[in-house]
Amino acid sequence: MAKDTDSDPIPRHVAIIMDGNGRWAKARGRPRLFGHRAGARRVREIVESCPELGVKYLTIFAFS
Judge whether residue 4 has pLDDT over 60.
no
Judge whether residue 1 has pLDDT over 60.
no
Residue 36: predicted pLDDT = 93
The answer to whether 35 and 14 are in contact (CB under 8 A) is no
Q: How far apart are CA 8 and CA 29, in angstroms?
A: 39
Question: What is the 8-class DSSP label of residue 29?
Answer: T
Residue 16: predicted pLDDT = 95
pTM for the complete prediction?
0.73
| Residue 4: CA count within 13 A, CB half-sphere | 8
Q: What is the pLDDT of residues 24-59, one digit of tens each?
A: 999 999 999 999 999 999 999 999 999 999 999 999
Residue 2: predicted pLDDT = 56
